[in-house]
Amino acid sequence: MAQRKFFVGGNWKMNGNKESLGELINTLNTASLHDQTEVVCGAPSIYLDFARSSLDPRIGVAAQNCYKVAKGAFTGEISPAMIKDCGVDWVILGHSERRHVFGESDELIGQKVTHALESDLGVIACIGEKLEEREGGTTEEVVYAQTQVIADNVKDWGKVVLAYEPVWAIGTGKTATPEQAQEVHEKLRAWIRANVSDDVADSLRIIYGGSVTGVNCRELASQGDVDGFLVGGASLKPEFIDIINARA
């Protein structure tokens, strides 16, 4: 069975300025980070160049979104080609805020996944159910459908990290219990095994997002199918170091 390298992504969202992000970057650059953990910071697009040129090379950078084509008359969008041109190797796609605040459809997210991977960007692909879906007992149905759209658009799974983020736990202070997270991750891995392949099921990193903190990260990291985190608010604070080192 493939050894899955622990993966911790920080999603800075629409936060920070050069001064505050510069301080955060300095903290990360000088910190002792677990060398068996892959770390990637998701910077606002306007700061991608700044983040990549300032961060230590051992820390990756991600864009928080991109469009489905390389260039053209798409005011306000950025393309994988532009992201790559800034020396950045990752993009976050399908985040619940893109789905629910900005109305991105499964179809559009799938097209973005295809184009990003064709452009040789790594993709952190996000899935997750809303509170009414969790309470209505349709969690599996929702996350399988979202995963299906992603899977339909992936040829090389080596460049993909799957992020399970229950929407009801993002920025709410509510966290899925380690048991709840493990249960969904285990079911997702079984879905991948049944619908993609054994090899991909063994090697694909399925990471958890939703109010991860320095306090709850170790217990979450100890779950067998939780291969890392996508961290929101806490990724802007010094406790991000503790989360990176959750398996140290």
pLDDT tens digits along 135-183: 999 999 999 999 999 999 999 999 999 999 999 998 888 888 999 999 9
Active-site positions read: 95, 165
Q: Which alpha helices (H) appear in 101-177, and where do they start and end? A: 106-118, 131-135, 139-151
Residue 90 domain flag? yes
pTM listed for this prediction: 0.97
Q: Could you tell me which of 218, 183, 166 has the C-alpha nearest to residue 8? A: 218
pLDDT tier for residue 39 given thresholds of 50, 70 and 90: very high
- Domain residues for the domain of 179 are 6-245
Average of per-residue pLDDT across 73-101: 98
Over the chain, what is the mean pLDDT?
96
Residue 192 domain flag? yes
The end-to-end CA distance of the chain, in Å, is: 21
pLDDT at residue 2, as a whole number: 57
pLDDT at residue 174, as a whole number: 82
Place of tokens 């992936």: 154
Residue 1 domain flag? no
Number of domains in the chain: 1
Average of per-residue pLDDT across 98-106: 97
